[in-house]
Amino acid sequence: MHPQGPTLSSNRDSAVWIRPRIDSASSVGWVVPTGFDAYARVLHPVEEAYTGELITWAHVAAETGRTVHPLVQWHRLVGSDDYVDRRDADWDRGAPRTGHLHPTALGALLRPLVEHTTTPDDCWFCLWEGYGVINPPPGSRAVTTSWTGSSPLPETAVAPSVVPEDVVRGARIGFLQRDYLLLHGPAASARFLGEQVTPDWFLPQSPNLFWPDDHAWCVGSDIDLDSTLIGGSAALIDQLIDSDELEVWRVHPEDVVHSEGDRIN
């Protein structure tokens, strides 16, 4: 974790308000809570395979001769019948990341979010327990993290969990049939979740779910989705729709934003 990242919390009560507002599986309201005035879907930018340039789904649609719409599915947009194996696709120069909003897009999202909460310095973050930074594979090298302040182990050492077991158990909460670590910090600290591989090399990971303490909005980037969902006030969603920095579509809690094959479970 980056030193500016949020810190672990064991305050499970901070997330109690979400559970009764989770809707049926496969819908927007299963990723972010129902009950908000409006909802938006941010399409994760595509990192062009050869140049690294961030491009929009609309750009890809122009090349494949297809159309972007609020419930667009990536594999359909690139002309594939298979959401996993896309060797038959009309586009092979990169794809949006699942479960991760690119730092550039996350930064653009955070600016309006901060404007639409009374508690921008008091936010809660959920990070899926399955990421390697939390449970590195056997034999891997540990990394420096703000959770423990530990130094990297020698290359030959076997790394334990980056986070001590007792701390992980105390901070873990369950949502959407997954378990997460709960963290706390200002909204801006969302940019500093991830793995500090070396002192100069940080691999960011956007939070899978986060919200301010006043519950003015909630943002979800489920690990299986290539888009981020936001519930909030009508004013917030209108501002996101008008953004020149993000590719955003208005959606509704009952909308399905992934295919049957890409079903969250």
Give the residue extent of every domain in the chain: 7-44+97-251, 46-95
CA-nearest of 6, 256, 3, 32 to 123 is 6
Q: Work out the pLDDT band at 161, boundaries 50, 70, 90.
A: very low
Average pLDDT over residues 175-189: 89
pLDDT tens-place string over residues 130-154: 876 666 554 443 333 333 323 333 3
Q: What is the pLDDT of residue 52?
A: 86
Other Cβ atoms less than 10 A from the Cβ of 208: the count is 26
Q: What is the pLDDT of residue 86?
A: 59
Please name the residues in contact with 145: beta carbons below 8 A apart, sequence gap of 6 or more: 1, 133, 162, 163, 195, 196
- Tell me the pLDDT of the chain averaged across its residues: 82
- Judged by DSSP in three states, 208 sits in coil
The answer on pLDDT for 120 being more than 60 is yes
- What is the number of alpha carbons within 13 Å of residue 20 lying toward its C-beta? 2
> Rounded distance, CA 224 to CA 198, Å?
28
Please name the residues in contact with 150: beta carbons below 8 A apart, sequence gap of 6 or more: 142, 144
**Distance from first CA to last CA of the chain, Å, rounded?**
28
* 71-88 exposure pattern, b = at least 16 Cβ within 10 A, e = fewer: ebbbbbbbebeebeebee
**CA-to-CA dists, residue 164 to 20, 175, 207, 229, angstroms:** 31, 22, 20, 31
Q: What is the pLDDT of residue 171?
A: 64
The answer on pLDDT for 4 being more than 90 is no
Q: What is the pLDDT of residue 57?
A: 97
Other Cβ atoms less than 10 A from the Cβ of 68: the count is 16
Other Cβ atoms less than 10 A from the Cβ of 9: the count is 18
> 68 is written with which tokens?
């972007």
Percent of the chain with pLDDT over 70: 77
Average pLDDT over residues 150-174: 47
In Å, how far from its chain's centre is CA 27? 16
Least confident of 18-27, 161-170, 196-205, 236-245: 161-170
Burial of 265 (0-12, 13-18, 19+ CB in 10 A): exposed
Count of all residues that appear for the chain in the document: 265
pLDDT tens-place string over residues 36-50: 999 999 999 999 988
> 99 is written with which tokens?
């479960």
Q: What is the pLDDT of residue 121?
A: 97
Q: What is the pLDDT of residue 217?
A: 98
> Rounded distance, CA 60 to CA 257, Å?
18
pLDDT tens-place string over residues 215-224: 999 999 999 9
The answer on pLDDT for 159 being more than 50 is no
Percent of the chain with pLDDT over 90: 57
The answer on pLDDT for 167 being more than 50 is no
Q: What is the pLDDT of residue 14?
A: 94
Q: Work out the pLDDT band at 106, boundaries 50, 70, 90.
A: very high
- Are the CB atoms for 231 and 36 separated by under 8 Å? yes
